[in-house]
Amino acid sequence: MRDGRVVKGLRFRDHVDAGDIEALAARYREEGADELVFYDITASPEGRRLDRAWVRRVATLLDIPFCVAGGIRSVADAEAVLAAGAEKVSVNSPALERPALVNELARRFGSQCVVVGIDSRGPPGGWRVHQYAGDPARVRDAGRDTLDWLVEAQERGAGEIVLNCMEQDGVRRGYDVAQLSEARAHCDVPLVASGGAGSPEDFSEVFERAGVDAALAAGAFHDGSIRIPALKAHLLGRGIAVRP
């Protein structure tokens, strides 16, 4: 999300408009999406808080869970988003700035409400966490090893990890199975794969080979190249348990 619209980039750059927030939310609800995640991508790089007016509008519309990310820097920020009707909050750059934020959120709302998003890239085995990935001009190595941060985030109370594999983002050649498999081995809470989905086979591959609990995609859904009912039929055909 940027300026009240849904946008999608390529490797976290060159974002283009993908439509109206509520129209897309309603479409995904109808098509059978199991959960929606909304990222206010420029909130943290710009040092501002998330615009919450749309959270309430989306909450009114949706009867499936949704998670909100972007610019949540305190318990009060998270409280406002949850009070507006979101199910979970996801923290990324602010948790890197101040890791105790994860503990505070888990203590106040319970781990099940607290998702830690990790933007990661690097050579296989040497993945590094990146910060402010929503802004190409400000993105930087956060000074942490991805797997170390993944473990620390769980110890601090994260109830779910979304691993955004930056090299794959928007490329649509499949998820980063190697990185996600390694993450899985270090992750005792639900792990969500993100970055690289281009076909239904990419989803079945990441479930079967990396053992993730969920797979997230954006661009391929936004432009209709993957339809959710067809994707679910494919996964059910492969014997992967999904809500039909």
The contact set with other proteins (CB under 8 A) reads 29, 34, 56, 59-60, 62-65, 78-79, 82-87, 108-113, 159-160, 187-191, 211, 213-214, 242-244
Closer CB to other proteins, 34 or 223, in the complex:
34
CB of 63 to other proteins, least distance (A): 5
CB of 36 to other proteins, least distance (A): 11
Closer CB to other proteins, 3 or 188, in the complex:
188
Closer CB to other proteins, 85 or 122, in the complex:
85
Element of type H or E holding 33: none
CB of 113 to other proteins, least distance (A): 6
Closer CB to other proteins, 185 or 230, in the complex:
185
CB of 18 to other proteins, least distance (A): 23
Alpha-carbon Rg for the chain in angstroms: 16
Residue 181 CA: distances (Å) to CA of 120, 157, 164, 198, 241: 14, 21, 13, 19, 19
d(CA 162, CA 118): 6
CB of 170 to other proteins, least distance (A): 26
Closer CB to other proteins, 89 or 95, in the complex:
89
Closer CB to other proteins, 33 or 142, in the complex:
33
Residue with tokens 């190595």: 141
Sign (positive or negative) of CA dihedral 207, 210, 211, 214: negative
Tokens for 85, please give them.
């009707």
CB of 56 to other proteins, least distance (A): 8
Q: Cβ distance 89 to 42 under 8 Å?
A: no
Strands 140-145 and 128-131: antiparallel
- Beta strands per DSSP E along the chain: 5-10, 13-20, 36-39, 66-69, 88-91, 114-121, 128-131, 140-145, 160-165, 191-194, 214-216
